[in-house]
Chains A and B, each alone.
Chain A
Amino acid sequence: MIRETKKVLEECKKIQEEYFYFTAICEEEALLQAETANDPLRGLFVSVKDCLCVKGVESAAGSRILKGYQPLFDATVIKRLKDAGAIIIGKTAQDEFGFGSFNTNVGLNVPIPKNPLDRERVTGGSSGGGAGLTRKASFNHVAITESTGGSIESPAAFCGVVGFCPTYGRVSRYGLISYADSLDKIGIMSKTVSEIKPVLEIISGYDEKDATSLKEKVDFTAKTGKFKIGIIKESLTKGVDAEIKKKVQWRINKLKDNGHTVEEVSLPITFAYGIPAYYIISTSEASSNLARFCGLRYGQESNLKNKTFNVYFAEIRSQHFNEESKRRIILGTFARMAGYRDAYYIKATKVRTKIIDEYKQLFKKYDVLISPTMPVVAPKFSEVKKMTPLENYLMDILTVGPNLAGIPHASIPIGKVNNLPVGLMANTDHLQEGKLLEFLQIIEDLGDDSP
C-alpha cells in the first residue's frame, strides 16, 4: 500500500498545481495509514472536505479565521473510515464555511478551484474541491463532502461526477464544522454509482456523540423493480437551459421504454418559498455558529491586552471572515433579531413544515422524484463575478427542496452540453437510500445520448 500511496500523493500534488482542489495534502498521515490499511476499505483513498475535522490536520472549513487550526479529535466519519482501512489523502477546497454555490467564496488569500473540464469555469460549490478531485483522480477515490443547500449535488453536476447525500441524521455530524445544524448532511462523491454503497455503509449509523443522529438500522438493500417516477414540472420552466432539459427528456423516454412510469408532479410551495425559507433558516443558524470565532481559544488571534472584548472580537472577525461570510452573518443576525424574528426565522421554520409535507405527499405515490440538478452548466468565473448575491442564491432553486426536507438525494451525470457536464437529480423519501442507489444505477446503465 505504501508504494501505491506515494504514487497517489504525487498525482494529488500535480492536480493541486493546476486546479487547487486541496487545502492540505496529508502526506505523513496517509503513509502511516497505509502501513496498517485493513478491510473492508483497504485500497480506497478518501479526500475530505475541509470542514470535517481530521486530527492533527488543518481543518478550517476553508476560512482564514481557522488557518492553522489542527483539531484534537477526528470527526466520527473520519474515525469510521480510518478504522475501515481507508486512507485519508487530504482536505479539499470549499466555499468558506459552505457559503456558496460556485466555490468562488473561498477564504481570504485562498486560490479558487477550477472546473476539471474547463479551467475558466467554476467547479460549483460549496464542495468544489471534492467534486473536481473526484473527476480528475485516476486512482481509487471517493470524496467525503457535505451539503447544506446543495453543496454536494451542485458541484457534482458541474464536474460530472456522482454526488450522493443521505437522509438528515443518517451520518453523524460530530466533528463537522457547522454551517447550519438542521441542514448539514455528510455525503459521498464518486465516479460511478457502485462506489457509493460500501462507503455509505461504513459512515452511516447512530453516534452517541451526535444527538440528532438516527438510530435507524443501516440497511441499503432495495429491490423496487419498476419505478414510479415524478418529473418535477417547476424544474423545466424558463430559466433552465433548454439543452439540459433535452438531456433529461432523453432519460425520461428511455425510462418509459424500459417499463418505468414517469408522470409530471408539482412542488409549488417548495419552488415558491424554498429559497427564502432555506436562506433564512441556514443563515440564522450559521450566524450563531460562527459567533465562536472571535480570537479566543483557537484560530486567528492577536495581542488583546488593553483591548475591550467587543473591540477585540470585532477586529479579529472583520479581518479574517470573507465577504460572503459577513453577508450571511448579517442576514442571519437580522432574521432572528427581536422585531424580525417572527416574520423571518419563525415563519421560515413553518414554511419548512409545509415543504416537508409537500414531499411526503408525493412519496406516498412515487418512488423517486427527478429534475435537472442545476439550471445551467458551469458558468465562467467572469459571469459569476457579475452576479448579485440574490442571483447567487437563486442558483440553489433546484436543490434547496430536498435539503430542507432532509430527504436522500443525489446528482448523477447525464452527459454533456457544450462539452460541459450536466447532472440529473433524484430524490427519494426519508431513509430510502437503498432505493435511491438502485435508481441511480438504472440511470447510469441507460448510458449517454451525447455524440
Chain B
Amino acid sequence: MNNNFTAEIVIGLEIHVQLNTKTKLFCGCPSQGSSEPNTRCCPICLGHPGSRPVLNKEALQLAAKFCLAVHSNLASQLIFSRKSYFYPDMSKNFQITQFEEPLGAGGKIFLKSGKEIGLIRAHLEEDPASLSYPLSLKQSSYCLIDYNRSGNPLIEIVTRPELASPEEARDFLNQLISILTYLKIFDVNNGIIKADANISIRESGYIRVEIKNITGFKELEAALISEIARQKQLASEGKKIQQETRGWDSNTNTTHLMRTKETEADYGYIIEPDLPIIDIDTEFKEKLQLEIPELAQEKIKRYIRTYQLDPVDAEVMAIELELAELFEKVIAQVKPQLAAKWMRKELLRVLNYNKKSIRDLKFNELELIELLTLIEHHKISDTTAQKIIEELMVKAFSPKEYVAKNKLEQISDDSELRQFCRKIISENKTAVEDYKSGNEKSLNFLVGQVMKLSKGKASPQMVSELMKEIIK
C-alpha cells in the first residue's frame, strides 16, 4: 500500500454488509425473522461439537455480483480461512472468513464529485452473535448473548485510504448503498451495515487510529468528525497520537479507547478444512455479469446525455433504484425534464414529510403520469397539483377524475385566454403603458386581473405569456 500521503485528512473504511439471503452463510437458519433471542439457531451457528459448515450458494452469487459491479478481479477459486480469536460473541472462537485470497481484489466506486475511490478487497465472512448488556457497557458484570445473528452472511468491503473528509465518507457510503440496492444484494429495510474507519491527519505524521463498530451512515459522519477533532486537538497541543483502536459511542458522541496495537490478538490463520474449494469459472462470471443492471452512475450520465436533465435532478432520480424505475416509466409519456424537476421537488417533499419511502407509495406510474400530464398542459395550478399528490399518499385515485369532479381545471384554452387578456388590456390602458415602459409589476397586476376575471381558473403561466405576446 502506498504510504506517501499528502492530504490533510486520510480515511479508509472497512464496511460489513449483511447479504440479502434467506438463510445464513453456513447453515439453513433464517437470516431474518423473529427477534426473540436464540430462536433462529442450530448446532452449526451455535458451534456445537460435531457440527460443520456448508456454504450458501446464493451468498456466493450475491457477493460475486458485487465484485463484478465494482470492477474487482474475481478470484478463480473460493477458499475460506479460520481467524482465531476468543470473545463471547464467537460461537466457535474462530470466524470463518477469507484471508489468503479474497473473493474480489481491487475495484472502484465513484463519488458524486466524480472522484474515484479504490477498493482493496471484498470478501465473504460470517457474522458473530449480538451482545447486549443489562446496564451500561462498563457497569455490567456480565453480558447477554443472542445467536440469532451468529452466522449471518456478510460481505466485507475494504477501501483504499483515499477518502479525504467525513463528507466524502458519507457520500461513499451513499454510493455503496445505491449499488447494493440496485443489485438487490442488500435489504435496506432490514439489513445491517457496519463500518470501521481508519483515520489519520497530516499534523500527526499520519498515525492511524481505528474506530470500530459504527452502524449506519449518519453515525459514520459523526464519528469521523468527532475523531478528527480529537486528533487535531491533540496535535495542536503538541501531544503524540497513539496508534490504537477506539470504539464509537453514539450516546455520548465520542470515541473511547478499546485496545492498543500491541495487545491485538494473533489470529493464527489456517485454511478452513471443512469447506472444499469452490471453482469460480468463466461461465459463472458471465452469467452473473448479465444479471448486473445499469447502475446509478451510468443512469445519471444517460439521463443528462439523453434527456438533458439538470445534473442535480439526474442524480436524485438515479440514486435510488425504485425512484429511477418509476421515473423511467413516467417519462414514456411525460417530458423528462418536467417529470424530473417535479418529482424531485414535490414527490420527494411529500415523501419526506410523511417519513415514507418510494416503496411505501400507494399509487404507481399510471396515476403519476396522469398528474404530470395535467401539469404539463397547464390544466391545473401548482397548488392543485400539490394537493393531489398529498391525497395520493393516502390512497390511489385518478387525478383526472378528481380534477373533473371538483371542477379544478384551469382554463388553458388559447382563444379563451386571449379573449380575457384583450378585455383586461382594453380596460387597463394605464397599466399596459406602465409595463411597456419597463414596469414588471404592472404585468403581474394585469395577470392578476385576468385571474380575477376567470375566477382563478386561468393558468397564470399561460396568461403571463399571452399578455407579453399581445402587448408587443
Contact = CB atoms under 8 A, between A and B. Distances in A.
Interface of A: 52-53, 59, 61, 66, 69, 71-73, 75, 173-178, 180-182, 208-212, 284-285, 287-288, 291-294, 296-298, 304-306, 309-310, 313, 333, 336-338, 341, 345, 349
B270 A345 contact: yes
A53 B48 CA distance: 10
Contacts of A337: 266, 268
A337 B267 CA distance: 7
Interface in B36-91: 43, 46-55, 82, 84, 86-88, 91
Nearest to B47: A292
Contact of B270 (A53, A208, A313, A336): A336
A180 B82 CA distance: 13
A79 B379 CA distance: 75
Contact of B273 (A75, A177, A285): A285
Contacts of B4: none
B55 A211 contact: yes
Nearest to A285: B273
B58 to A, nearest CB: 16
Nearest to A306: B141
A313 B86 CA distance: 8
Main secondary structure of the interface of B (DSSP, over half): loop
Contacts of B48: 71-72, 297-298
Given A75-B50, A181-B52, A211-B275, 11 more contacts: A59-B50, A73-B43, A210-B54, A211-B53, A212-B273, A287-B268, A291-B94, A292-B91, A297-B48, A306-B142, A310-B86
A181 B274 contact: yes
Nearest to B100: A346
Interface residues of B, number: 33
B363 interface: no
B441 to A, nearest CB: 76
A211 B274 contact: yes
Interface string B259-298: 0000000111111011110000000000000000000000
Contacts of B88: 296, 309
A310 B88 CA distance: 9
Interface in B242-271: 266-271
B144 to A, nearest CB: 12
B93 A294 contact: yes
7 contacts: A61-B49, A71-B49, A73-B43, A180-B273, A209-B54, A211-B52, A298-B49
B92 interface: yes
Nearest to A63: B49
Main secondary structure of the interface of A (DSSP, over half): loop
B86 A212 contact: no
Given A292-B93, A297-B91, A305-B141, A53 B50 contact: yes
Nearest to A208: B54
B44 to A, nearest CB: 9
Contacts of B273: 180-182, 212, 285
A336 B267 CA distance: 9
A72 B275 contact: no
Interface string B387-414: 0000000000000000000000000000
Interface of B: 43, 46-55, 82, 84, 86-88, 91-94, 141-142, 145, 266-271, 273-276
A291 B267 CA distance: 12
A297 B91 CA distance: 9
A75 B145 CA distance: 27
User: 9 closest Cβ contacts across the A-B interface?
Assistant: A291-B93, A181-B273, A182-B273, A177-B49, A336-B268, A53-B50, A175-B50, A306-B141, A211-B54
A176 B273 CA distance: 14
Contacts of B43: 71-73
A174 B52 contact: yes
A306 to B, nearest CB: 4
Contacts of B142: 304-306
B50 A66 contact: no
A288 B84 contact: yes
Given A297-B46, A297-B47, A309-B86, A288 B52 contact: no
Nearest to B83: A288
B49 A336 contact: no
B266 A173 contact: no
A174 B52 CA distance: 6
Given A291-B94, A292-B93, A341 B50 contact: no
Contacts of B141: 305-306
Contacts of A338: 266-268
Given A211-B275, A305-B142, A69 B270 contact: no
Contacts of B93: 291-292, 294
B46 A341 contact: no
A277 to B, nearest CB: 14
A341 B269 CA distance: 8
A310 B85 CA distance: 11
Contacts of B53: 211
A292 B49 contact: yes
A424 B75 CA distance: 46
Nearest to A69: B49
Contacts of A284: 268, 270
Contacts of B82: 288
A73 B49 CA distance: 11
Contacts of B269: 336, 341
A287 B86 CA distance: 13
Contacts of B91: 292, 297
B50 A71 contact: yes
A51 to B, nearest CB: 8
B92 A211 contact: no
